[in-house]
Structures are given as C-alpha cells and as structure tokens.
Chain A
Amino acid sequence: MTVLYFAWLRQRVGAGAETVSPPPEVTTVGALMDWLAARSPGHAAAFADRGRIRAAVNQEHVKPDAPVRAGDEVAFFPPVTGG
C-alpha cells in the first residue's frame, strides 16, 4: 500500500510518500500507525502524539478503526488548516 505524509509528519518521517507491505495482522489504520511507528526514529516521532494525527484512506477522511487493505492509499496528516 502507499502511505503519504503531510506537514510536520512528512518532515519527521523524512519523506512524503512510501510504499509498504505490512503483515496481514495489520488490518486497521490504528494498527498501521503502530507498525509504521516502529520503522525508524523519524517515524516514531511522527506518530508519537496520536491525538494530533488524522488519516485518510483512498482520499476519504477516516477514524483509526477504519480498515486498510493492500493497494490502498493511506495518508497521515495534522488537523487541516486551510481557508
């Protein structure tokens, strides 16, 4: 699946996008965050404060219990500040 990072998450991870293949037990957005956080110190820093992170799957806002599947586009970002 493709994972995208925006704003300070992107800065902490050190990349705006990556392709990942999590193990089959990673079936939700929340579980994916746990799995990604272990990839590097930068990832851990990005995911340290879950309250400040929002997610989208296939370009739709979702909650942490939303499912993720192979082939999905999952994005992590801070609460939005447009307008």
Chain B
Amino acid sequence: MSVRVQSEPFDPGAALAAFTAEAVGAGAVVSFTGHVRDEGGRLTALTLEHYPGMTEREIARWVETARERWPLIAVQVIHRTGRLTPGEPIVFVAAASAHRAAAFEAASFLIDLLKTQAPFWKLEEGAEGARWVEAREADDAAAQRWR
C-alpha cells in the first residue's frame, strides 16, 4: 500500500527493499527515513498522536499530488504512531522514477508537505516531564517552496 500509518515498528531497510522490488522499471529509487532524535540526551521517548481517518487521507492527497506533478513509477509513505524511543524510525518516504530528478524532488516534496499538512502531534518525554513539540517556521518555509 502506498500509505501506511501504523502503530507497529517498521524496518526502513526492509521497506526500501520491498519498495524497490515492486518498482519495476525504475532507474532511480530515492528514500528518506526520519528517526527520533535524542536531543543531546534530553529526550527519553516521543509519542505520536494522530487523527485516524484524516491522517491517512491527507498523506494520500499529497501522494496523489506528487504522482500528478512528477512521472513516478511508485511512491510510498510509512508513518509510525504511538510511543517511540530515540533512534527509532518515525517516517519512511520513497519515490521511484525512470530518472533521478523526479525521484529526488517527489521524495523531498512529500516529506515537506507531510510535515506541514498531515495531522500528527509529537509529545516529547524528558527529565523535566512531557511537552508538546511546536511546529517550526522552517517546515512551513520548506513546504512553501513547492508552490
């Protein structure tokens, strides 16, 4: 499936291998994996809350937009929900195309749009307790550059 929002852990290497096997004819495969940072040892866990239904719809919308904008043979987004620990993979984005420009751009577009549009909210746990992560202007700026 192109879009997976799941509470189960995933292995980015296995995901990339499976994606590549399905992307028959692709000369270029590009992937991005986002991991939980430990923020210099401050963070002990990260919980991802989401909006069941809307989260999947929003990601699917941007996958569809990417397919319309670039000549893609295959696209995939996998995103975790639930409680994660430092180092764990949070998100995997992969794009396959005949040539590399489309694959690089589509993968970059998808992670930029996912970060500003997909309904997830991160709760960081550390020594001083739990706090909700604030959205970053840099992420908004990154999404804007695709307009």
Contact = CB atoms under 8 A, between A and B. Distances in A.
A59 interface: yes
A80 B132 contact: no
A26 interface: no
Nearest to B54: A59
A82 B51 contact: no
A79 B118 CA distance: 10
B48 interface: yes
Nearest to A4: B51
A7 B123 contact: yes
A30 interface: no
A50 B57 CA distance: 25
A83 B49 contact: no
B120 A83 contact: yes
A83 B51 contact: no
Interface residues of B, number: 29
A1 to B, nearest CB: 16
B121 A78 contact: yes
Contacts of B116: 80
Most A C-beta atoms less than 10 A away, residue of B49, B50, B54, B134: B54
Interface of B: 34, 48-51, 53-55, 57-58, 79, 90-91, 111, 114-123, 132-135, 139
A82 B48 contact: yes
Contact of A77 (B51, B58, B114, B133): B51
A61 interface: yes
A8 B132 contact: yes
A19 interface: no
Nearest to B57: A59
Nearest to A8: B132
Contact of B121 (A4, A7, A61): A7
Contacts of A82: 48, 50, 55, 79, 91, 114-115, 118-122
